[in-house]
Chain A
Amino acid sequence: MTAGESGDSTGLTLERVSKSFEGVHAVSELSLRVPEGLIFGFLGPNGAGKTTTMRVILDILRPDTGAVRWRGRPVDDQTRRRFGYLPEERGLYPKMKVLDQLVFFARLYGMPRAEAAAAAERWLERFGIADRRGSRLEELSRGNQQKVQVLVALVHDPDLALLDEPFSGLDPLNSELLEAALRDLRDRGKTVLYSSHRLEQVEDLCEEVAIIARGQLRLSGNLEAIRDSAARRILHVRTASRIPPDITGLPLDPEEPGRDYARFSLREGADPQLVLQVLAARETVEYFAVERPSLQEIFIEATADGAGSSNGDGVEVADGVEAV
């Protein structure tokens, strides 16, 4: 797993992409590889440069330096028509009818008319808004407008779907529908890159993730590998009575102190067995678990400024991070 090599002939590759606006670096020296046939979580705090990166991939913004490749070749008009895009700034033609809208965009992406109409009907059916096919978009509720917007990105069965926070504004039921749709795409060999702040869902849905902050890549790669290779371990402890507040001498940093339940992070290199023995000698231990950090924890650590400590084996760290 090496990122940024231009020799790759599959997937999406960003090579040292930089984009600044009036002196402010929105994205700097960002290299990224998104393999084909999986769902890729593109994560970062607000203002990290996720939207800018997506716009650069679609050539809505021209990068100051760097290049974007799809299947080893620079992205051009033809390849872009095999992409689907859900922009952060939602917007379609408000006075156009729902079905017409989907058919129009599908054809714009190169689908023949009959095929586009069939696909549009199918997607509307799948998302439960087939009865609104003849309504103008502006007549729909915000939630349904959001669904139509998502469908515009998917209706032409793109090879690569770039979705900027696709789940925001969707209720749990519709989120389920969309999750299933994305899994379907992936199972048929398509690639999905999406940004989200719902990290538990990302954990659930994504095989690979990238976390960026301040326009720089903080880490990327296989989600399980990232979690495995995080040096830190989390201890969950429950005792029959009060957890002694002074477990001094143990290699623990309290994360979530409580009366009979507490969460600690284990210091690097410490042996959890030793902790268990010490605890067991003093209290009745009812529950003791050693876990990998969650994506949430990894995210917070990776995006906290100056943090770059979670680089372990098998995890790629962007060039810029060490310098921080």
Chain B
Amino acid sequence: MNLVRLIVEREYRARVRSKGWIIATVFGLIAIVGLNFAPTIADTVFGGRQVRIAVLDETAASMNASSGYLERLRADLVETLASGDPRYVVERASADREGMLAQVMSGAVDGFLLITEAGSQQAFKLTTLDTLGLAERSRLTSALSAARTFLDLEKRGIGGAEALALFRPVVLDTEVAGKGPDDGEIPGESWALTYVLVLLFYITLAIYGTYVAMGVIEEKSTRVVEIIISTVRPFQLMIGKVFGLGLAALTQYAVWVGAGFGLLAARGALSGLEVGAVSLRFADIDPWLLVAFAGMFALGFFSFAGLFAAGGSLVSRTEDAGQITGPITMVLVVVLFLAVYSMDNPESTGAVVLSMVPMTSPLIMFVRIAMGDPPAWQIVVSCVVSLTTILVLVWMAAKVFRAGILLYGRRMSVRAVVKAFR
């Protein structure tokens, strides 16, 4: 075990001192800082424009005079910019069609909305100088839809507060039979968190899996293997490599998470985050979820690291690494997709089975823990399956590695691989 510790130590140091690791860590930090300020930056750079829309409502004559599209749009489009100014300015057209088109061309207004009526059908036409953004387009569409519904109702004699009452949202109380109210895990929040963690898992493995494969190949390509193997068993070497690199990954996360919380603390926002419509309050995160994530993350990490190590054992030149990491990364992508599918229905037969199948087990079990409430025995089975998978993969990696030691620059034939297990 002492030898394994030595290998772990060397791998860890070699990794965290390497240029690649340092650069990746720094870029990660930049990304975190960037994300922290991203909402503000994005708003200023991309969304900061105020949109002035002139409305020419030719249907107004046939309407009840108390309100029209102009008033409804004004009541609806109340968003503000980061500066506090209104996002949309809706005004009555000050000229006829030709005059308004000229104003659009000259930039006096950003858009000219023409509402016409043929029979009982209204037609809406917006003329702008620049292409309208997707967000603005859909926002205006929904505002117009709501306005038309409201005006239609008013036409039929349902107006004011009575009409507004029709728009109030439904509150769905959910309850799991025998377990009481289900309000503890509001899907919106834990869905987002789970999604982020699943993605984190994928990214980590895509990066560190390649490191593991390269590390194994390095032993052969640098030919240090003859000395190493005359003192250490291949199994010890493999375990040492995988754990050393695992620790390097953890260190990188510690740096990033530390920086992330540091920034939040600096903004005085330690209690929670609001990203778009989803708000995340740290106090609401179930600590059990984080424990489950840590455990399942470790199992998943080492499962895939074992697979990458076994792959790396097959080749002996760094140039051939891609042939190995490519297919394994594909497997990883498939697992990622399966995990994301499972998030929608964590208790489906597919998810339950996959949560106990080698390779997919850790991540999908994590999804089930996060989104549902799997029975304890299934969690235990999942852990046992994963641990066995890890041991078998590392053992296989060691076997293949042992057989391929002296094949400098050559790839192992299928026959040689089969022979390695005899």
Contacts and interface: CB of A to CB of B under 8 A. Distances in A.
Interface in B22-56: none
B315 interface: no
A80 B225 contact: no
A188 B221 CA distance: 36
Interface string A63-81: 0000000000000010011
A85 B14 contact: no
B406 A61 contact: yes
A93 interface: yes
B231 interface: yes
Given A61-B406, A104-B10, A108-B3, A94 B227 contact: no
Nearest to B227: A85
A54 B175 CA distance: 72
Contacts of A83: 230
Contact of A80 (B18, B222, B231): B231
A93 B224 contact: yes
A184 interface: no
Interface in A85-114: 85, 87, 89-96, 100, 104-105, 107-109
Interface residues on A, range: 20 to 34
Interface string B213-247: 00000100011111111111100000000000000
Interface string B1-24: 001001000100110001000000
Contacts of A107: 6
B14 A80 contact: no
Contacts of B405: 60
Contacts of B124: none
Nearest to A96: B14
- Among B228, B233, B408, max chain A CB count under 10 A is at B228
A214 interface: no
A108 B224 contact: no
- Among B6, B226, B408, max chain A CB count under 10 A is at B226
B94 to A, nearest CB: 72
Given A60-B405, A85-B230, A91 B6 contact: no
- Among B18, B229, B231, max chain A CB count under 10 A is at B231
B223 A89 contact: yes
Contact of A90 (B3, B223, B232, B406): B223
Interface string A182-219: 00000000000000000000000000000000000000
B6 A77 contact: no
Interface string B351-388: 00000000000000000000000000000000000000
Contacts of A59: 230
A20 to B, nearest CB: 14
A108 B228 contact: yes
Contacts of B232: 108
A108 B6 contact: yes
Given A61-B406, A107-B6, A89 B226 contact: yes
Interface in B279-329: none
A94 B233 CA distance: 22
Given A77-B233, A89-B408, A152 B222 contact: no
14 contacts: A55-B226, A55-B406, A60-B230, A60-B405, A77-B233, A80-B231, A81-B231, A83-B230, A87-B223, A91-B227, A93-B14, A93-B222, A108-B232, A153-B227
- Of all A-B residue pairs in the complex, the 8 with the closest CB atoms, nearest first, are A91-B223, A87-B226, A58-B230, A89-B223, A91-B224, A91-B222, A108-B231, A85-B230
Interface of A: 55, 58-61, 77, 80-81, 83, 85, 87, 89-96, 100, 104-105, 107-109, 152-153
Given A87-B227, A89-B226, A91-B222, 6 more contacts: A58-B226, A60-B405, A61-B406, A90-B223, A104-B10, A108-B228
